[in-house]
Amino acid sequence: MCGIVGYVGAKQAQDVVVEGLRRLEYRGYDSAGVALVADGRVQVAKRAGKLANLDKILAEKPLPASQLGIGHTRWATHGAPTDRNAHPHTDCSGRIAVVHNGIIENFATLRAGLEDRGHTLVSDTDTEAVAHLLEEVLRDGATTLTAAMRVVCQQLHGAFTLVVVDAQQPDAVVAARRNSPLVVGRGEGENFVASDVAAFIQHTREAIELGQDQVVTITATEVSVTDFAGDPVELREFHVDWDASAAEKGGYEWFMLKEIDEQPQAVSDTLLGRFSPSGQLQLDEMRLSNGELREIDKVIVIACGTAFYAGMVAKYAIEHWTRIPCEVELASEFRYRDPVLDRSTLVVAISQSGETMDTLMAIRHARQQRSRVLAICNTNGSTIPRESDAVIYTHAGPEVAVAGTKTFLAQIVACYLLGLYLAQVRGTKYGDEVAATVRELRKIPAAIARLLAEAEPVRELARSLVGARSVLFVGRHVGFPVALEGALKLKELAYIHAEGFAAGELKHGPIALIDEGVPVFVVVPPQGRDMVHDKVVSNIQEIRARGARTIVLAEDGDDDVVPYADDLIRLPKVPTLLQPLVSTVPLQIFACELATRLGRDVDQPRNLAKSVTVE
């Protein structure tokens, strides 16, 4: 959430910053603004609502030409989404402008002190206090904005990325981070800071990652980084391996449609390069020795939202393949229940962005308890992988739509790779067994491609259910997390009531929700799981007997379901544990089509943000 861009160079800063903000719209926001340094002054324009509102005011009242500026798209935490609360915020004199991502937890105390000392604060935000604190420190003798930033950051509690400009230092942008994303883009005669590389990828693919509690100063030709104490920090550079075109719609109505269609490639790329020349499974940046992995006696998967459901799928695979007990927990609840952890616990943190605050704080708690931590992440150089002992990167490429699709499948694949790797290291599966499962995984992209090519009946189904007020999803075994994910997608995109249930729990309460005409999606396990399969067929009969519209997802050749399915969606035959990779796809398409027909903003659902960087 909250997009941040800073620029200094030879181009017109306003154009660079606004375009960067446009590329960060996927993060979710409710207001936008820019600040430029020109003619010895800070010039600010900001408006509540979408970037179009900011574009309009900039067209009506153009800002002066400038080669240095900052911009922000805000997702409200303190104060309503209004023009007054939009970023950037300035100090009393208008010398300083600040944009901010995160939450400053002690802002009320800071604000009260500032007001007692004669400052006038005009917004309801926690951010504005920072501008006034910088004003004080500079007035009291700090020689540079960088030095002032270091002093102020040491007064702040909470999570923050701050980007600041000073009218009296018109050649530099200064930024700082603590527990909130920030990356530097390094160009030729120009440099950038942003909350995501997407903001500057059209200008440069060379980037610098920042650690915790660090301050960066960029000019047109230099980048310097120190910690909050002022000690120099060695630059950690990396190359971004995708380009601007990867974040463009490419003719699709929605980014989400494009990303759904990119899933065969995302799965394929996540599998790419995972075998050594000798045929052994190998993982990126594992950094945990085989000996350490053999000591593991418990796995705990922590994640939020869609990633949590990927973790639920992981539990079935990891326990089946490795015989290690595996728990799955919401990251937001994990550390507050005082979990029992030790050196033999492997905590697996799943996060698309690598900046999810709940998950980040959970892994820090785990590390304090001496647990080993492995990250599954789609974003190179982000905080969660850097603070973990090991990482498996998914290679899904940039995902712009707020609702996760291709990253969900890539996360599941990464979880499978982890389970197989642990089985290989611990000897619970022979090498040929691991190789056989990987061969099945390699068939999945073609299976997904078939589903995408045959998706029109799913879209027709969605169009027929535009008037539905509630949709239910049920499944057993790995079909249960698929049911939960299907319901989440519909809630996120269409804003209608949807719930997912374990099929065996129907008679323990949820069956009371089933009424005449209620659509119920049922994910049927492959026929190889005879005991579970037959129970789900019985569940379908129970549901249909109560008047529901049964929408059945079943593999090719499963004729047992035909008499009880009002609508039948055929799935390619795959091994049971791998079925979520195919059964999820029709549910994504259904949710996207229904939301479109209801006139929803599919890529940026209301109240949601792509990366949740506050608790």
Q: Which residue has the tokens 């075109």?
A: 245
> Residue 598: which residues within 8 A CB-CB, separation 6 or more?
466, 494, 495, 496
Catalytic, 2? Answer yes
Residue type, 285: E
Which candidate, 498, 492, 497, places its Cα nearest to that of 606?
492
> Based on the number of CB atoms within 10 Å of its own CB, is 337 exposed (0-12), middle (13-18) or buried (19 or more)?
exposed
In the set 2, 304, 377, 415, the catalytic residue is 2
Task: Measure the CA–CA gap between 165 and 4, rounded to whole angstroms.
Answer: 13
Task: Measure the CA–CA gap between 251 and 229, rounded to whole angstroms.
Answer: 49
In the set 258, 406, 489, 610, the catalytic residue is 610
Record the tokens describing residue 391, joined without a space: 């990482």
Q: What are the phi and psi torsion angles at 332 (to 5°)? A: -70, -20
The per-residue b/e assignment along 280-309, b for 16 or more CB within 10 angstroms, e otherwise, is: ebebbebebeeebbeebebbbbbbbbbbbb
- Mark residue 570 as left, alpha or beta (left: phi above 0; alpha: psi -120 to 50; beta: remaining): beta
Q: What are the phi and psi torsion angles at 335 (to 5°)? A: -75, -15
Record the tokens describing residue 53, joined without a space: 């509102």
CA quadruple 431, 434, 435, 436: dihedral, nearest 10: 120
Catalytic, 377? Answer no
Q: Specify the 3-state DSSP secondary structure of 11.
A: coil
Residue type, 390: A
Which candidate, 390, 365, 380, 576, places its Cα nearest to that of 478?
576
Helix segments in 12-117, DSSP class H: 13-23, 51-60, 107-116
Residue type, 590: F
Record the tokens describing residue 304, joined without a space: 């939020």
Alpha-carbon distance values, 330 to 60, 312, 356 (Å) = 47, 10, 12
Which candidate, 17, 33, 125, places its Cα nearest to that of 87?
33
Record the tokens describing residue 75, joined without a space: 């997702």
Q: Which residue has the tokens 């052994």?
A: 280
Q: Which are the catalytic amino acids?
A: 2, 610
